[in-house]
Amino acid sequence: MSEISGGYKRETVLYTLPSIIMVVLTIYIPFVLSGYYSLTEWNGIAKTPEFIGFSNFKQIFTGGSSFMKALIFTGKYTALSMILVNIFALILAVALVKKLKSVNILRAVFFIPYIMSMTIVGFIWQFVFSQGFEDLFAITGMGFLNLSWLGDIHLVFYSVVFVGVWQSIGFYIVLYIAGLQSIPSDILEAAVVDGAGPLRSFFSITLPMLIPSLTTCVLMSMINSLKVFDIILALTKGGPAGVTYSVTLDIYREAFQNNNYGLGAAKSLVFFVIILLLTQIVLKAFKKRDVEI
């Protein structure tokens, strides 16, 4: 055994090293460098960044910074998207587990936007909001079609949330369907025998048994909404008047358009901490619920 153990060890390292090298090169080194640059002022051109301590972080948290505005927008966007996506996905999943003739086609239809590029989804809706609604209003006369969904600084928030939900809901429907199908049918039948109505058995049996799916969906919808970028860039470019700038869009603009690499790096680290904290909070919250039930 001992004469092959040296070769064994060498093999173990040899076959795992490529993965480690790639991860270190593309993730760890840039991440650590981000930490360094966040303490500097650097325009990306100068040879050496100037060390300025925590000034970048101070600038982020002092009033009226673009980051705080973007953070508030992203927070509101995430909260509303999470709620809408999960409620509608769950309702549609409950409808689409029923034995219907067209069920496979219907499921496919709801999944299609999810496989499309988010940039294209943003453009499609830009077209629908700006051109399609006008002509639909001319035919149907429905008032909501005549509003400026991308031009009004209040309405545009709902347009952006709506498009995000539209794009991603198919994915969550599929996850909830998988969860619903894993619930043993004899439990539900027993509830019906005991006289529970459909609503009662949904809230007392189906929903508690869906907690694992619910945790996954809430967590994924939260993280994906916090990172929203492509859809907004294609749909509004952050406008009108900068009210739809998300955090990721703000980081991108700070670094690559304003050439404040140091400040951009500081923002990206704050963003990292926020995502990490929120993820832990959601996981804790659901763990507790799991025990209670």
Partner 1 sequence: MTRAAKRKIGIIVFEIILILIAAVYIYPVFLMFMNSLKPFGEVVSDVIALPREPSFQNYADVIEKMNYPRLFFNNIVITVIGLIGIVFLSSLGAYMLDRRNTRYTRFAYSLIIIPMLIPFQTFMITLLKVMNVVHLSGSTWGLGIQYWGFGIPMATFIFFNFMKTIPKEIDESARIDGASTMRTFTGVIFPMLKTVTTTVVVLDVMWIWNDFLLPLLMVNSRPITKTLVLSAYTFVGQFNTQWHYAMTAMVLVVLPSIIVFILLQRYIVEGAVAGAVKG
Restricting to residues 6-35, name those near partner 1 by CB under 8 A: 8-9, 11-13, 15-16, 18-20, 22-31, 33-34
Q: Which of 3, 62, 63, 139 binds partner 1 (CB under 8 A)?
A: 139
Q: What Cα–Cα distance (Å) separates residue 275 from each residue in 131, 185, 290? A: 37, 38, 23
| Closest approach of partner 1 to the CB of residue 288, in Å | 21
Of residues 201 and 213, the one with the C-beta less far from partner 1: 213
- Any residues with CB less than 8 A from the CB of 82 and at least 6 apart, and which? 218, 221, 222, 225
125 binds partner 1 (CB under 8 A): yes
59 binds partner 1 (CB under 8 A): no
68 binds partner 1 (CB under 8 A): no
Q: What Cα–Cα distance (Å) separates residue 273 from each residue in 27, 229, 255, 268, 285? A: 16, 18, 19, 9, 18
271 binds partner 1 (CB under 8 A): yes
Determine the Cα–Cα distance for residues 211 and 191; give it in Å rounded to an integer: 19
| Closest approach of partner 1 to the CB of residue 56, in Å | 12
198 binds partner 1 (CB under 8 A): no
CB atoms within 10 A of CB 218: 19
Of residues 65 and 119, the one with the C-beta less far from partner 1: 119
Determine the Cα–Cα distance for residues 176 and 208; give it in Å rounded to an integer: 13
164 binds partner 1 (CB under 8 A): no
CB atoms within 10 A of CB 166: 19
132 touches 188 (CB < 8 A): no
Of residues 201 and 264, the one with the C-beta less far from partner 1: 264
| Closest approach of partner 1 to the CB of residue 120, in Å | 5
CB-side exposure of 44: number of CA atoms within 13 Å? Answer: 11
268 binds partner 1 (CB under 8 A): yes
202 touches 94 (CB < 8 A): yes
43 binds partner 1 (CB under 8 A): no
Strand partners, 51: 40
Of residues 187 and 283, the one with the C-beta less far from partner 1: 283
238 binds partner 1 (CB under 8 A): no
| Closest approach of partner 1 to the CB of residue 23, in Å | 5
Q: Which of 79, 276, 277, 283 binds partner 1 (CB under 8 A)?
A: 276
